């Protein structure tokens, strides 16, 4: 199988240290790399350029989703990989994920791992509000067992994945309408995966591809008013668009129930 050209898109905002640490050894001959700099003031653009990225500098911070769309519009590859600054891609992983995208006609993400090698919860089931609240404030709740997904090996379908690492074909990207730039930050990843699912495009986590992800989510580590305003605004938009995610259905015949039914025990 011939793998189409891959373009990696990274949105940076004051991410110089993360880029330098996580991307210093990225496989530059495996893909095109575009960094969209969201008005950084710490030299992120210069660091990215020195590392071999094609940099698009923006005068204002337009948000994660809109910046991803800017990068995708300038990308030349038939496979698009949206990757965070605090993530370390590998050559084998890029090839494997691009191949999965091509054969499955799906969204595909690697299984992300922490720096110590433990699995991150980048795969998720349906984001019902009770699950989201339990995940934020009661991580030992049994609701988390029905929400977070860790893929030990192979390809496993999930409802959505964190936007830290997500691959898709350009054709599918255009089919779903790209990222919704009305989400400045938060919920944009669950939104794009849900929109894809309703169009018959599944989302998979590939447990055989494991990439280190620094992951410093502000709503877990900080309690600033700005962060919570963004979380609330995005949540309102998301649940208005996806009312099927407000209350779990009794019947498991819906698309969300079918995906959750595929979860390994």
Sequence-distant (≥ 6) Cβ neighbours of residue 145 within 8 angstroms: none
Structure tokens at 265: 């025990």
Do 111 and 119 touch, CB atoms closer than 8 A? yes
CATH architecture of 6-261: Alpha-Beta Complex (3.90)
For residue 137, the surrounding DSSP H or E stretch is helix 129-137
| Measured distance CA(53)–CA(153) in Å, rounded | 31
pLDDT at residue 1 in the model: 57
pLDDT at residue 251 in the model: 47
| Measured distance CA(209)–CA(166) in Å, rounded | 12
Strands 32-38, 54-58: pairing is parallel
pLDDT in tens, the chain (265 residues): 556 699 999 999 999 999 999 999 999 999 999 999 999 999 999 999 999 999 999 999 999 999 999 999 999 999 999 999 999 999 999 999 999 999 999 999 999 999 999 999 999 999 999 898 888 888 778 777 788 999 999 999 999 999 999 999 999 999 999 999 999 999 999 999 999 999 999 999 999 999 999 986 544 555 578 888 999 999 999 999 999 999 876 544 467 877 876 665 4
pTM score, two decimals? 0.93
Question: Residue ranges of the domains in the chain?
Answer: 6-261
* Per-residue pLDDT tens over the stretch 140-181: 787 777 889 999 999 999 999 999 999 999 999 999 999 999
pLDDT at residue 145 in the model: 79
Quick one: how far is CA 189 from the chain centroid? 6
Counting Cα atoms < 13 Å in the Cβ hemisphere of 251 gives 4
| Measured distance CA(78)–CA(170) in Å, rounded | 5
Starting at the edge strand found earlier in the chain, the sheet holding 123-124 runs 148-149, 123-124, 160-161
């Amino acid at each position: 199988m011939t793998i189409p050209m891959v373009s990696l898109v990274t949105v940076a905002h004051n991410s110089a240290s993360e880029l330098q640490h996580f991307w210093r050894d990225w496989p530059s001959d495996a893909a095109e790399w575009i960094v969209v700099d969201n008005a950084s003031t710490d030299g992120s653009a210069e660091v990215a350029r020195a590392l071999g990225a094609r940099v698009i500098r923006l005068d204002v911070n337009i948000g994660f989703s809109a910046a991803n769309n800017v990068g995708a519009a300038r990308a030349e590859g038939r496979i698009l990989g949206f990757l965070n600054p605090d993530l370390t891609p590998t050559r084998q992983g890029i090839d494997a994920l691009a191949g999965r995208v091509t054969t499955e006609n799906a969204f595909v993400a690697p299984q992300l791992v922490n720096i110590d090698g433990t699995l991150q919860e980048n795969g998720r089931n349906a984001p019902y509000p009770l699950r989201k609240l339990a995940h934020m404030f009661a991580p030992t709740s049994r609701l988390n067992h029905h929400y977070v997904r860790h893929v030990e090996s192979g390809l496993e379908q999930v409802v959505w994945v964190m936007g830290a690492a997500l691959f898709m074909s350009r054709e599918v990207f255009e089919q779903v309408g790209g990222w919704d730039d009305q989400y400045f930050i938060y919920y944009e990843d669950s939104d794009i995966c849900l929109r894809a699912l309703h169009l018959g495009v599944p989302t998979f986590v590939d447990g055989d591809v494991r990439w280190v992800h620094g992951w410093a989510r502000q709503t877990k580590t900080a309690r600033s008013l700005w962060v919570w305003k963004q979380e609330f605004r995005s949540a309102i938009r998301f649940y208005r668009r996806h009312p099927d995610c407000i209350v779990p259905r009794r019947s498991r015949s819906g698309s969300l129930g079918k995906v959750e039914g595929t979860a390994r025990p």
